């Protein structure tokens, strides 16, 4: 997806307007199918998927030196979500998409592969921190650097 334009960013943040921006949240886990929520007063259908109306809150990350973390609070509308969170060993992944109310099948902007961590479950809400995948801490296979395979990295001894 191309970077978001200034006009689309303004459209997402506007409070009043003829064309509201709808935020779609898809919550998935390795052991379960997706839970789909829309920040709206009524359910919508986008690309053949039904998104249940629910008010959720996404708090933007602070501008500091630490890892960017976003808080995500959503209603505990389905007992399955809480049970899956308690039983899941790998956690859940959240995808956000913004669409126009008049055209819910066209995604204007999305944020993908955000991990839901440090989850707190209450009878009313589920709250957690969203953070991007941390690729810098993943282990990789060792690479053997040999002079004939990487001549630019190895000095020849004379």
Which pLDDT band holds residue 11 (cuts at 50, 70, 90)?
low
Bridge partners, 22 (sequence order): 99
Average of per-residue pLDDT across 138-154: 70
102-123 as b/e: b if 16+ CB within 10 A: eebeeebbebeebbbeebeeee
pTM: 0.71
Q: What pLDDT sits at residue 48?
A: 93
Give the DSSP per-residue string, 103-153: EEEEEEEEEEEEEEEEEEE-SSEEEEEEEE--GGGS--------TTT-TTT
pLDDT of residue 115: 85
- Secondary structure (3-state) at 85: helix
Q: What is the pLDDT of residue 49?
A: 93
Better-scored residue on pLDDT, 2 or 79: 79
Of the candidate CATH numbers 1.20.120, 1.10.357, 2.30.110, 3.40.640, the domain formed by 6-134 belongs to 2.30.110
Per the CB < 8 A criterion, the answer to whether 139 and 81 are in contact is: no
- Percent of the chain exceeding pLDDT 70 equals 75
Phi and psi for 105 in degrees, rounded to 5? -85, -10
Given a cut of 80, whether residue 84 has pLDDT beyond it is no
Cβ distance 3 to 11 under 8 Å? no
Phi and psi at residue 44, to the nearest 5°:
-135, 165
pLDDT at residue 17 in the model: 66
Non-local (6+) Cβ contacts of 7 within 8 A are none
What token pair was written down for 97? Answer: 């998409």
Residues 24-76: pLDDT tens digits?
A: 999 887 777 788 899 888 999 999 999 989 888 888 777 777 766 788 888 88
Instruction: Write down the domain spans for the chain.
Output: 6-134
Overall average pLDDT of the 104-119 stretch: 85
Tokens of 83: 């049970």
């Amino acid at each position: 997806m191309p970077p978001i334009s200034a006009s689309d960013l303004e459209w997402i943040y506007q409070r009043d307007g003829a064309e509201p921006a709808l935020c779609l949240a898809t919550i998935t886990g390795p052991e379960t199918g997706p839970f789909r929520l829309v920040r709206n007063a009524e359910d919508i259908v986008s690309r053949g998927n039904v998104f249940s109306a629910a008010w959720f809150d996404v708090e933007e990350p602070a501008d500091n030196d630490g890892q960017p973390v976003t808080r995500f609070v959503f209603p505990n509308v389905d007992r399955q979500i809480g049970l899956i969170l308690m039983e899941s060993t790998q956690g859940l992944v959240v995808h956000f998409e913004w669409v126009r109310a008049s055209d819910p099948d066209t995604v204007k902007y999305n944020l993908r592969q955000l991990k839901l961590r440090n989850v707190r479950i209450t009878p009313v809400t589920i709250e957690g921190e969203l953070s991007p995948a941390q690729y810098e801490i993943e282990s990789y296979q060792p690479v053997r650097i040999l002079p004939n395979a990487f001549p630019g990295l190895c000095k020849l001894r004379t």
